[in-house]
Amino acid sequence: MSLTNGEVADTGRVGIILAGGRSERFPTVDKALAPLDGEPLIHHAAATLDPVVDDLVVNCREDQRAAFADALDAVEASFVLDTVPDRGPLAGLRTALESTTATYAAVLPCDMPLLPAAFVEYLCNRARDRTGAIPKIDGQVQPLPAALHVRAAAAACRDAREQDAGRLDAFVPLLDPFVVPERVVEAHTAPDAFRNINTHDDLAAVRGHPQQANQS
C-alpha cells in the first residue's frame, strides 16, 4: 500500500493477478495486453490492487512473462509461472498462493478493469480472521474478486484438484469463506464494476467508461 510520504504500509497482503489463460475469444492479442484507455488490461488490474497490498504477484505462462513485464512497466511485480501450462485458473491460483509468505491475498483476474480498489479493500477487511471473503453477484457466489487466507485457500485448491475439480469455483465450498451479500455488494460498487472483458466488443463497450476514468 503506497502512502503519500512514499513509505509503504505493512498490510500483510499480497495481490495476485491471474493471467495465464489462452484468451480464446480474444484471438488477435493476449487479452491481458489489450489496451484500454492507454494502458493494457493487466496494468489496470495492478493499479486496482496496488493501493491495498504490499506486493504484487502475476500468475502466467512462461511465454507470457516478458510481454507482461513490459506492459506493467514501472509497476513492481514478481511472476509465478505455471509449471504445467493450461491446467486452468484453479491450478494458477494454487501456484500463486503457494509462492507467497503473506497472510492474506487479494485476487483478481486480469480482465476486470472497472472494479474499484475500495471494494478490494472492503473484501480484505471482511476476510480478516476468516478463511476469506467473496461477493455474491447476480444471485451467484463468485470466486473472483476475492480476499483469501493464503494457507487456507492453498489447501482448498489442493483438495479441489485432488477431487478432480478443475473449475475455479471448486475451491469455494472447501474454503467456506464469508460471502458478502448482494445488497451489500451493490452498496459498495457501481453496476458495471464486475464486468469481465472477454471479447473485443466487451473492450469497446468500456472504453472511456466513467468508472474507468475514476480508477486512473
This prediction has a pTM of 0.91
User: For position 10, what pLDDT does the model report?
Assistant: 77
Smallest Cα–Cα separation from 141: which of 160, 114, 169?
169
What would the pLDDT profile of 54-80 be if each residue is shown by its tens digit? 999 999 999 999 999 999 988 999 999
Domains, the chain, ordered by start: 13-208 (3.90.550.10)
What would the pLDDT profile of 136-148 be if each residue is shown by its tens digit? 999 999 999 999 9
Q: What DSSP state is assigned to residue 2?
A: B
Percent of the chain clearing pLDDT 90 (strictly above): 75
Q: How many residues does the chain have?
A: 216
Q: Is the pLDDT of residue 132 over 90?
A: yes
Q: Is the pLDDT of residue 2 over 50?
A: no
